[in-house]
Amino acid sequence: MVEIRKDYFTDSLCIVSDESLGYPEASVEEEVCPYCAGNEHLTQPAELVLVQSQGTLVKKSDSEEERIKNWSIRVIPSRKPFVSTSPESRFTDFPLYSEPAFGYHYEVVVTPNHKETLSTISVEQWANLLRVLQDRMKWLYSKKGVAYVSVYAEQGKGHARFNLVTLPKLPPIVEQEANAFHNAYRETAVCPMCNVVAVETGGPRQIHLSEHYIVFAPWAPSSLYEFWIFPRKHQVSFLKVGQKELDNLALTLRAALGAFDKAFNNTPYTIVLHSSSEKKTSKQLHWHFEVHTNIPIGNALHVGTGIHFNPFSPEKVASKLSSAFKREFASLVGVS
């Protein structure tokens, strides 16, 4: 069972898995990293592999029999997916509403070197990474049943890699941002985030201003050391970013994350992409990246979507806690 459940009273959503998907109960560092060069056989075949050949990057893919070596970036099906391409087709009603958590979950392995991070890879590697993210997002949006593609990475929690998780409906955060955009635009005919960019430009919260992007700390941060990267001109989708702007974004992101490590002593962080859906919808927003800290493992998905993930179902929680409760209660009242 893997399904999307809705809160009793609010619109809060949670993906609940009972199929050993997602994160284990305790995070255990693996002795052999399956994402490192030389360990390609420990993952499923990569559906996209970037390989340096005669000064250019060539797109290839693994086969069951052979794994490509000397790669630069790999895209593989997640070893612990949050969603499923074959969930049980079951819908339930209020107050216990649920629907199938249909979707795809891929991991983009950023570098073959375990010691490299999003804060230390080259600007060129960042540019290649951004193009791969664009490529895979476009491909996923072409799939039936995909309403939104969530993109995020958790730096400081293992080998550097991005996650791409598709959802069968627009997530709450995208809905909220899109509704705020729509309401403000209807009243003022100005994108509210373009207004924020104008206000923050040159202000005390500005971190950096490049030709195409502004990096700034938000007025009301939701996490420690939080900062955002916004395109200076109005753009609703990351997929519409052109070559020149992508190269400038690579430099901006690499400099910002490298500076973050030095300023805050390599504090682990989560970077998420907020972007409009590519499916037919009037719900649009001004795309951007956000960087957050102090995000519990497994909850990076929530930062970009507003959807929680729980790899331990409440039914299992109740069963395990109930057994322990009976034993504890009996010891307290003197019953053997």
Query: Is the pLDDT assigned to residue 22 strictly greater than 60?
Result: no
Q: So what's the pLDDT on residue 298?
A: 64
Maximum Cα–Cα distance across the chain: 77
Least confident among 156-165, 216-225, 318-327: 318-327
What rounded mean pLDDT belongs to the chain? 89
pLDDT at 206: 95
Summarize the confidence of residues 221-248 as an average pLDDT. 93
| Integer Cα distance of 67 and 272 in angstroms | 29
pLDDT confidence of residue 30: 59
In this structure, the dihedral spanned by the alpha carbons of residues 308, 174, 193 and 277, taken in order and rounded to 10 degrees, is: 130
What tens digit of pLDDT does each residue of 145-181 get?
A: 999 999 999 988 789 999 999 999 888 888 888 888 8
> How far apart, in Å, are the Cα atoms of 326 and each of 4, 276, 316, 331, 333?
31, 49, 16, 9, 11
Q: Are 101 and 2 in contact (CB under 8 A)?
A: yes
Q: Which residue has the tokens 């201003």?
A: 209
Q: What is the mean pLDDT of residues 23-45?
A: 77
Q: Flag whether pLDDT at 46 surpasses 60.
A: yes
* pLDDT: which is higher, 99 or 72: 72
Amino acid at 49: V
Cα–Cα distance for residue pair 270/272, rounded to 1 Å: 7
* Residue 28 clears pLDDT 50, i.e. is over it: no
| Domains of the chain by start residue, with CATH | 24-79+103-305 (3.30.428.10)
Query: CB–CB of 241/134 below 8 Å?
Result: yes
User: If you average pLDDT over residues 123-151, what whole number do you get?
Assistant: 95
CA gap 274, 66 in Å, rounded: 36
Compute, in degrees rounded to 10, the torsion defined by CA atoms 175, 181, 184, 186: -90
